[in-house]
Amino acid sequence: MGERMRYAGIPGVEKPVSRILFGAGGGRFWQGERMDELLDAVFALGVTAFDTARVYGDSEKVLGDWLERRNLREKVVLLSKCAHPDLTGGTKRVNEREIRRDFEISSRCLKTDYIDIYLLHRDDPQVEAGLLVELLNAMHAEGKIGAFGGSNWTRRRIEEANEYAYRRNLIPFTVSSPNYGLARQEKTKIGDCVTLSGLEDAEEKAWYAESQMPLLAYSALGAGFFSGRFQSGDGEAALENADAFFRSVYGSPDNFERLRRCEELAKEKGCKVSTLALAWIFAGPLNTFAVVSTGSPKRMEENIEALHLPLAEAERRYLNLEERE
């Protein structure tokens, strides 16, 4: 097992959780390709937590087949997500029937009768949070799920759910998965996704810092913005081969300035830009885990080094444009 990885506990999960989760939602996983070689290498580096979702094509089946072939189920932490809106019509699916249906399909694909971390992939504010708390507690009591929480849930809705749980001596949400990273997402372009990136949402971030609720940061490297595939000086040319969604969400001048500063500081520290961008997440006051996708074991090694890269608060502020030059 990799000696450089770091682990932490999440209430409701019996095994230590690697601070970096492997994101298995990419194209090759989605398409159902056999990914044993990559998964073997990532696991050998110490990544023991894997992030997937019912809506990620054949990703769950790829993971389940690998776990069965390698007999690794009891050594890994599986995270899956349910109740994503219908992809064809956007119909909300945050209800008991759809959640239980998603679990049963996920369970078959992952070849397991329990999922360590189970997240509601979206919220529906029209549904009483207490009803969902009751349902997830029931599934926990049935041995189907360990920890549970929300992906793309606001802090206020998590508080609503947990206040209900505390009043009735039930298990609360113990984990949350919003977008969080150095690259700021353009909020008007991301629909009902929740992001804590950028300079906004100070109250939300202060709540996570105070509560220390485990935060599983998805798109931690800005969907590849800090992967090194282009440089800050490339300007508009950097986005020519990117899809329209990526350009609209990440292609702001402020993000290119963040990238420029990251390049500058990475050169001083002798590390990769991607390593520094991940170090920015881990060096902050939030109890963060990062969901990272890669097709390269070498890249994962570089990601893991972020856990050991010192980053002063002044450097974090500088990278996030909280301090102008």
CB 223 within 8 A of CB 246: yes
Residue 243: what pLDDT?
86
pLDDT tier, 108 (very low <50, low <70, confident <90, very high otherwise):
very high
Pairing of strands 115-120, 7-8: unpaired
The CATH superfamily holding the domain 7-229+272-311 is NADP-dependent oxidoreductase domain (3.20.20.100)
* pLDDT per position as a tens digit, 229-261: 889 988 777 788 788 889 999 999 999 999 999
pTM value surpassing 0.85: yes
Point out the least confidently predicted range of 2-11, 17-26, 83-92, 189-198. Answer: 83-92
Rounded Cα–Cα distance for residues 274 and 269 (Å): 13
Pair 214, 290: CB distance under 8 Å: no
Quote the tokens at residue 226: 């800090």
Instruction: Specify the pLDDT at position 86.
Output: 87
Q: Give the bridge partners for 290, in sequence order.
A: 20, 217
Query: Token pair for residue 5?
Result: 């990885």
CA distance 10 to 17: 7
What is the per-residue pLDDT for 26? 85
Instruction: Give pLDDT tens digits for 166-198.
Output: 999 999 999 999 999 999 999 989 999 999 999
Is the pLDDT at 1 greater than 70? The verdict is: no
> What's the token pair of residue 223?
């969907």
Give, in order, the Cα–Cα distances in Å from 147 to each of 1, 250, 276, 312, 316.
24, 32, 30, 32, 31
Q: Is the pLDDT of residue 214 over 80?
A: yes
**Which residues, at least 6 apart from 242, have a Cβ–Cβ distance to it below 8 Å?**
251
pLDDT at 239: 84
Contact of 69 with 101, CB cutoff 8 Å: no
Structure confidence at residue 325 (pLDDT) = 62
Give residue limits of the domains in the chain. Answer: 7-229+272-311
**What pLDDT score was predicted for residue 323?**
76
The residue-averaged pLDDT of 24-43 equals 96
pLDDT of residue 105 exceeding 70, the answer is yes
- Is the predicted pLDDT of residue 40 greater than 70, yes or no? yes
Q: Tens digit of pLDDT for each residue in 115-155?
A: 999 999 999 999 999 999 999 999 999 999 999 999 999 99
Question: Phi and psi of 57, rounded to 5°?
Answer: 55, -125
Q: What is the mean pLDDT of the chain?
A: 95
Residue 90 pLDDT level (bands cut at 50, 70, 90): confident
